[in-house]
Amino acid sequence: MSAEARLAAIRSGDMSGLTAGEQARVVFHTGRGCVKVVRGKSTSKADRAVERIFKDAEERVAAEHAAEESLRKKKIQDKAMAKAKKRAESKWW
């Protein structure tokens, strides 16, 4: 799954974009929230924990995506510079 697809999945609330560890933590906190509901207590702490996991994952994947894009742009720029240098060195005219 590409970084862009993972980012879209995370933003839509889908767990498929998360790492296995993050998925496990979401399931753990969801379970904690279920126990709180059964006991008639507030689930706000578990809800905040799940939101924080998704927020952190979104930031991480967005940074990965930005790094991939800058690397791709650098490769394109390097190829263009090499081509320009080669054209400048060849004195066919």
Q: What are 29-79's pLDDT values in tens digits?
A: 999 999 999 999 999 999 999 999 999 999 999 999 999 999 999 999 999
Q: Write the DSSP string, 34-54.
A: HHHHHTT---HHHHHHHHHHH
What tens digit of pLDDT does each residue of 1-25 get? 888 899 999 999 999 999 999 999 9
Q: Write the DSSP string, 56-79.
A: HHHHHHHHHHHHHHHHHHHHHHHH
